[in-house]
Structure 1
Amino acid sequence: MIENPATTAAEAARQAPPGKLQTLGLSALGIVFGDIGTSPLYTFKTILGTTEGAPDAGVILGALSLVLWTLFIITTVKYVSFAMRVDNDGEGGILALMALLGVKKQQRPTIVAVGLFGAALIYGDGAITPAISVLSALEGLNMATPVLQSYVVPAAVAILLALFAIQSLGTAAIGNYFGPVMLLWFVALALMGISGIVQHPSVFAALNPVYGLSYLFSHGATGFLVLGAVFLCVTGAEALYADMGHFGRRPITLAWFAVVFPSLILNYAGQAALVLEGVPTDGNIFFRLCPGGLLIPFIALATVATIIASQSIITGAFSMTRQAIQLGWLPRLRIKQTSSEGYGQIYVGVVNWLLMIVTLGLTIGFGRSDNLAAAYGIAVSLTMLMTSALLFIAMREIWGWSMLAAGSVAAFFLIVDCAFFLANLTKIAEGGYVPLILAASVYSVMWIWHRGAAAVMTRMHESLIPVPEFMKDIQSKSIPRVPGTAVFLTRTERDTPPVMIWHVKHNRALHEHLFVLRVEILSVPWVAPGNRMTIDEVAPNFWRAEARFGFMERPHIPELLTVGKALGCTIDLDDVTYYVGHETVVGREDGMGLPAWQERFFAVMERNAVHVSDFFSLPSDQVVEIGRQVSI
């Protein structure tokens, strides 16, 4: 029986005793909060670089107020208090939210477009986060000694190469250390922040939002553009929602309020206090919080923290890829399970190497974290904007809120998100085009694959033969029936599967026992064992079954057939041959199919997709592949 690990994890988190809850919260520090936890490395430095002239007290307190209230509104209110309460059987993230809104049960092209483009933008985030984080940490070497400045980019490239190279080994062995290391990092952030605050305690006046609003509305275009830099403080907030399925809502909430949020507040306040005290702002004000004798060890800790943050983003890209494949928006890719203990421990080679190429290109091309900051904000701000739009629909359809209540809350989130997005939009020429190009590319791949797969299905349904008619034809032509069981995998919902028709046409024989199986991936993460499969005997010794899997599950057909025995299907599992079809896609000659460029692109993806027998874990020595042409 296939276990439901997500439901088990979510239920365990809800019922966990305090000690267990704290352990899960510690683990969440290493997986969920790496990105937002390393944002102090570059956020305040970028803000100072955006303001005009030497910053005075009004500018510093205004900027700090904007940072603190941005952390509160977007992370605490929007994601922790609202988004994380809209889960798809414990799973979160924009794809899970899109699936939750029933896009497979009804045609909702706008919701699909919003969800898919938001997901595509996360791939851009996955490429930029490692580059900007590792560069920011290593730039601390410039504070230790300017002699090392020329080594920052080569060292970053070496670290990133090693990071992507070890992905195929999995992180199960070192993953247990992520939480304690990040706890040490957040404690260090808090202590450094306190050391700065004691030099200028009045910095806490910035808790008053009037300072932020006053700066925003009294500095014209400069005040508005600073929002683009301020937004960097919440670039990891989307990860809280996307990684919810790993730990459940309670451990993530505990870690945020008990450790992460206070540490970030203290550190940003400490950086602002140093500037108010008159400390030089050249270089990175973040590293000026660190005592001189501890600078090198702290740079090492910062580098490790950014590697953990990068690891979390890469793992998230792998998980999202699997969701997209299961939902039918990406071609089948080879997915390697790197640990038997954690379902989320997977490796997708194609995604890993493409991310590595883009990340290294960004690191070398931009060279400094300051330059990358412009490219960073636009991807995340647009994803958050799209999440807010989907949350409005969820409030109406899932929570049953009135239009006034849902509209008021969503309008507040959308106004905030739009302000940050528009501020970041001004940086397109400075690098903001990078994530948009990446997202457009990924979205195009998803869209063309889905259109091509739908066209193949349409063509296959045009030539179906009813089962009674097919079996009558078998008898009339005296087609011999050979001993054994044949399992035919099909995508058709009714009648005789095309692969069976082609098998009889070419081999002039048919097994005594026939089992036709259609696998459907539902828009929920997990399917309860009792709802896994339904079986109907449509003719003597001819069964047709429908198997259902969630988009977070990996189908295993031989294991699934044992369920069929329990449901009364008398097939011999020791004598099974699996028949799968292999389509060669060609263009239609009547001009009614897909545009030629889309057909060719889909055909390339189809040829390079993982074989269906591997995707369904079929034993290679029991599989017969039957090729045929399908014109789309």
Structure 2
Amino acid sequence: MDPQPAKHDTPDANVVMAVHDADHTIINNRQKDTGRWGTLVLAYKTLGVVFGGLVTSPLYVYPSMPLKSPTKDDYLGIYSIMFWTLTLIGGVKYASIALKADDQGEGGTFALYSLLCRNINIGILSSKSANLNPSNSYVNQSRKPSRLGKFFERSLISRRVLLFIAMLGMCMLIGDGILTPAISVLSAMDGIRARFPSVSKSLVEALSAIIIIVIFLLQKFGTSRVSFVFSPIMGAWTLTTPLVGIYSIIKYYPSIFKAISPHYIVHFFLRNGKQGWICLGGTIMCITGSEAMFADLGHFNRSSIRIAFFCTIYPSLVLTYAGQTAYLIRNPSDQADGFYKFIPSAVYWPMFVIATLAAIVASQSLISATFSVIKQSVVLDYFPRVKVVHTSSSNEGEVYSPEVNYILMILCVAVILIFGDGQDIGNAFGVVVSMVMLITTILLTLVMIIIWRTPLALVALYFVVFFVMESVYVSAICTKIPEGGWIPFAISLILAFIMFGWFYGRQRKLEYELTHKIDLERFRTLLTDPGVQRVPGICFFYTNIQDGLTPILGHYIKNMRSLHKVTVFTTLRYLLVPKVAPDERIVVSKLGLKGVYRCVIRYGYSDKLSLEGDDLVNQVIESLRSHVLHCSNHNSVEVEDETSELEEAKLAGVVHIRGKTRFHIGKHSGWFDRTMLAFYEFLHSNCRSALPALGVPLPQRIEVGMLYEA
């Protein structure tokens, strides 16, 4: 939130301007240039964190493409499709272009939306109050917005659609966190049936469910304790599978690489028609995990991800798929088990163990990414508050949410037991992959036009190639919606509706508070009432606005007839930037009345909420002391009086006051407001309080109820 102050000479306006100026000095504490060897080390580490879903895709791609009586030319056409999909989408779109579109080191669909928010005014409220949206704190005013940017600023509907698209992309990634463990572990465990056909399918599903449950139960311990084995496992996988692929190429079909020629794709579709188009629903999964390569940009630098992709992942997948295809050309009936059948008997069980471990690592990486996405959404008020625990003292990005973890576990096990057929889960997985890619293409195109100001010819080339390519994939996979593809749509739409409803309700509350705020003059009038007493102690009065005071304050004073001698109006400000430097975390100011101060505590969406309980009180008081010393004009008596007053207030007791507000939905409200605000009230009544996140003791909390008229 970055309101425009009405007057620059008032104390309250000064603190707003101070916060606004300080906002533009935020230094991102992202990893700096680590040098050549440091980058190579990071590139090795990315194998175990970033590429889990991508490198395990050979386990389930071919079984997801049922072909009727496939021929040699069919397999050559399929391999050509996978090769160019990997090359264009994985290599060109993500590794070469998307990685440049980071939001101060963070990647993913939400980072793209954040980048747009920081350059144009695209809040979801009406244009008269759009500048009050928290997401616009970092709007770049250094140059005029483009025509497209102006269109989004003027159109409320387009802003809502864009927000919903960004949220849908995030929700699809969460759906990926459900489906990746299911399909990866289930596909790996299917190796038992490939070797022992007498083993029942139900037993494989049960074993897969047990492994999934164990993975989720271990989440509370964090990944740092086992992460040292992640990269060796994925390194072994990316080394052994292409070696097996080379063996199969030599043994079964040495000329397989002639399929790189795109004319095999044309002949494949001419020969198979609709059936070939439907097969795209399986080939799309060869690129699954590419979005994680972009989303995990915040954990590694751009160079390390590119080195890992182009030097290990890409050649490994190209050779592995070539080997599988060469085997299937000579054994076309083995497509239903296209991975384990092409493994030589001498190395079958070692490869089974490596495949199972790789599936576990792939599951872990997507689950961790889901926790990170949920945390970012919560701190930016895009998602109802859930408990977020930091499981590592050295890695702030390593988080765990108990509620989210157990919901994911239940859904993941349900997917395995109810839709145990790998074909159905593969259909659902394909929907997630294709939709997230398409959403990224749309947002990245907007970034090119609005922020990068890329020449329109290049933008058109990018958009036409990737939008058309991914739209064809989406159209193909949508035919699988009745066969399991509806699962991620249902999950994602529910999550997106929850996120949109929560964010809309929070914004409407903010709009009400800004239009009914208490200015400094009215506050002074309230305090001069003879019946209002200044009681001992220090009060942290939480408010969502900075330019003015929350209307809850007037409600509180009129009913309680008192105010603490030291009152600090505190705003927790979550910014659309990844990190806020620790020395810029707290901004304080005097409000021109004795014992009354303003405090803004700022966090980026990748920051750890490190101020808790007494630590919060001590740091704020220390900041107030420093501010008093800085603004005292060398008046030692005044400094001593104010600092002693702060210390006495702290000793007298600390209380934290927050509003417990609800909407009163009137008869004149439209159907959209009635629906969304009623849904928001349901969410708000069932989520966690904001103050427990700060570790405020229960005896120090006070909630003041008030109705806001919608």
TM-score, L = length of structure 2? 0.83
Q: Deviations over 1:457-497 (max 9, x none)?
A: 23334543322222233223252323333221101233333
**Structure 1 position 584, deviation (Å):** 4.7
- Which residue in the other structure is 1:161 paired with? 213
* Matched residues, number: 623
Aligned residues: CA RMSD: 2.3
2:660 pairs, out of 568, 580, 583, with 583
- Which residue in the other structure is 2:97 paired with? 82
Q: Report the Cα distance in structure 2 between the residues aligned to 1:239 and 1:368, rounded to whole angstroms.
A: 25
Q: What are the within-5 Å matches in structure 2 for residues 42-191 of structure 1?
A: 42-47=60-65, 49=66, 51-53=67-69, 55-102=70-117, 103=122, 104-105=135-136, 108-150=159-201, 151-191=203-243
**Structure 1 position 405, deviation (Å):** 1.9
**Structure 1 position 289, deviation (Å):** 2.7
Are the counterparts in 2 of residues 556 and 618 from structure 1 also a CA contact under 8 Å? no
- 1:386 maps onto 2:439 in alignment: yes
- Which residue in the other structure is 1:193 paired with? 245
2:35 pairs, out of 10, 14, 17, with 17
Q: Which amino acid aligns with 1:625?
A: E
Q: What are the within-5 Å matches in structure 2 for residues 455-474 of structure 1?
A: 455-474=508-527
Are the counterparts in 1 of residues 284 and 433 from structure 2 also a CA contact under 8 Å? no
1:228 pairs, out of 259, 264, 281, with 281
**Structure 1 position 349, deviation (Å):** 1.8
Q: Which amino acid aligns with 2:696?
A: L
26-35 vs 111-120, greater mean Cα deviation: 111-120
| 3-state SS of 2:523 partner | helix
**Structure 1 position 533, deviation (Å):** 4.3
Structure 1 567/289 Cα, relative in aligned 2: closer, same or farther at 3 Å? farther
Structure 1 564/101 Cα, relative in aligned 2: closer, same or farther at 3 Å? farther
**Structure 1 position 234, deviation (Å):** 0.6
| 3-state SS of 1:378 partner | helix
Are the counterparts in 2 of residues 141 and 149 from structure 1 also a CA contact under 8 Å? no
Structure 1 578/76 Cα, relative in aligned 2: closer, same or farther at 3 Å? farther
- Which residue in the other structure is 1:626 paired with? 704
Q: Deviations over 1:535-577 (max 9, x none)?
A: 3322233222333322222444544524444344766374462
Q: What are the within-5 Å matches in structure 2 for residues 269-288 of structure 1?
A: 269-278=322-331, 280-281=333-334, 283-288=336-341
422-431 vs 78-87, greater mean Cα deviation: 422-431
**Structure 1 position 350, deviation (Å):** 1.9
Q: Which amino acid aligns with 1:201?
A: P
**Structure 1 position 424, deviation (Å):** 0.6
178-187 vs 477-486, greater mean Cα deviation: 477-486
**Structure 1 position 625, deviation (Å):** 3.2
Q: Report the Cα distance in structure 1 between the residues aligned to 2:254 and 2:508, rounded to whole angstroms.
A: 66
Q: Percent identity?
A: 29
**Structure 1 position 69, deviation (Å):** 0.9
Q: Deviations over 1:282-330 (max 9, x none)?
A: 5512112322243233222211111111111111111111111222211
Q: Which amino acid aligns with 1:128?
A: L
**Structure 1 position 269, deviation (Å):** 0.5
1:346 pairs, out of 380, 394, 399, with 399
**Structure 1 position 7, deviation (Å):** 4.0
Are the counterparts in 1 of residues 26 and 584 from structure 2 also a CA contact under 8 Å? no
Q: Report the Cα distance in structure 1 between the residues aligned to 2:199 and 2:305, rounded to whole angstroms.
A: 38
- Which residue in the other structure is 1:616 paired with? 694
2:598 pairs, out of 544, 547, 550, with 544
- 1:566 maps onto 2:566 in alignment: no
283-292 vs 622-631, greater mean Cα deviation: 622-631
| 3-state SS of 2:572 partner | strand
Structure 1 501/554 Cα, relative in aligned 2: closer, same or farther at 3 Å? farther
1:37 pairs, out of 28, 39, 55, with 55
Q: Report the Cα distance in structure 1 between the residues aligned to 2:31 and 2:434, rounded to whole angstroms.
A: 28
Are the counterparts in 2 of residues 585 and 630 from structure 1 also a CA contact under 8 Å? yes
| 3-state SS of 1:243 partner | helix
Q: Report the Cα distance in structure 1 between the residues aligned to 2:346 and 2:699, rounded to whole angstroms.
A: 64
**Structure 1 position 22, deviation (Å):** 1.9
Q: Report the Cα distance in structure 1 between the residues aligned to 2:335 and 2:563, rounded to whole angstroms.
A: 79
Are the counterparts in 2 of residues 143 and 283 from structure 1 also a CA contact under 8 Å? no
Structure 1: segments with no counterpart, 5+ residues: none
Structure 1 346/116 Cα, relative in aligned 2: closer, same or farther at 3 Å? same
- Which residue in the other structure is 2:131 paired with? none
Q: Which amino acid aligns with 2:31?
A: A
Q: Report the Cα distance in structure 2 between the residues aligned to 1:568 and 1:192, rounded to whole angstroms.
A: 71
Structure 1 277/230 Cα, relative in aligned 2: closer, same or farther at 3 Å? same
Q: Report the Cα distance in structure 2 between the residues aligned to 1:282 and 1:307, rounded to whole angstroms.
A: 24
Structure 1 584/481 Cα, relative in aligned 2: closer, same or farther at 3 Å? closer
| 3-state SS of 1:147 partner | coil
333-342 vs 364-373, greater mean Cα deviation: 364-373
- Which residue in the other structure is 2:492 paired with? 439
Greater than 6 Å deviation, 4+ residue runs: none
Are the counterparts in 2 of residues 577 and 623 from structure 1 also a CA contact under 8 Å? no
296-305 vs 193-202, greater mean Cα deviation: 296-305
- Which residue in the other structure is 2:376 paired with? 323
TM-score, L = length of structure 1? 0.93
2:414 pairs, out of 338, 361, 366, with 361
| 3-state SS of 2:68 partner | coil
Structure 2: segments with no counterpart, 5+ residues: 1-24, 123-134, 137-152, 630-641
Q: Report the Cα distance in structure 2 between the residues aligned to 1:246 and 1:406, rounded to whole angstroms.
A: 28
**Structure 1 position 248, deviation (Å):** 1.6
Are the counterparts in 2 of residues 497 and 516 from structure 1 also a CA contact under 8 Å? no
Q: Report the Cα distance in structure 2 between the residues aligned to 1:5 and 1:162, rounded to whole angstroms.
A: 41
**Structure 1 position 272, deviation (Å):** 0.9
Q: Which amino acid aligns with 1:588?
A: I
Q: What are the within-5 Å matches in structure 2 for residues 204-219 of structure 1?
A: 204-219=257-272
Structure 1 598/278 Cα, relative in aligned 2: closer, same or farther at 3 Å? closer
Q: What are the within-5 Å matches in structure 2 for residues 243-282 of structure 1?
A: 243-278=296-331, 280-281=333-334
Q: Report the Cα distance in structure 2 between the residues aligned to 1:480 and 1:492, rounded to whole angstroms.
A: 25
Are the counterparts in 2 of residues 486 and 578 from structure 1 also a CA contact under 8 Å? yes
Q: Which amino acid aligns with 2:520?
A: V
Q: Report the Cα distance in structure 2 between the residues aligned to 1:473 and 1:421, rounded to whole angstroms.
A: 61
- Which residue in the other structure is 1:479 paired with? 532
- 1:238 maps onto 2:291 in alignment: yes
Q: Which amino acid aligns with 1:138?
A: M
**Structure 1 position 377, deviation (Å):** 0.6
| 3-state SS of 1:101 partner | helix
Q: Report the Cα distance in structure 1 between the residues aligned to 2:682 and 2:333, rounded to whole angstroms.
A: 56
Structure 1 423/459 Cα, relative in aligned 2: closer, same or farther at 3 Å? same
Q: Report the Cα distance in structure 2 between the residues aligned to 1:330 and 1:407, rounded to whole angstroms.
A: 35
Are the counterparts in 2 of residues 63 and 215 from structure 1 also a CA contact under 8 Å? yes
Are the counterparts in 2 of residues 584 and 603 from structure 1 also a CA contact under 8 Å? no
Structure 1 542/101 Cα, relative in aligned 2: closer, same or farther at 3 Å? same
Q: Which amino acid aligns with 1:20?
A: G
Are the counterparts in 2 of residues 580 and 612 from structure 1 also a CA contact under 8 Å? no
Q: Which amino acid aligns with 2:182?
A: A
- Which residue in the other structure is 2:10 paired with? none
Q: Report the Cα distance in structure 2 between the residues aligned to 1:6 and 1:331, rounded to whole angstroms.
A: 28
Q: Report the Cα distance in structure 2 between the residues aligned to 1:297 and 1:206, rounded to whole angstroms.
A: 30
**Structure 1 position 531, deviation (Å):** 4.8
| 3-state SS of 1:10 partner | coil
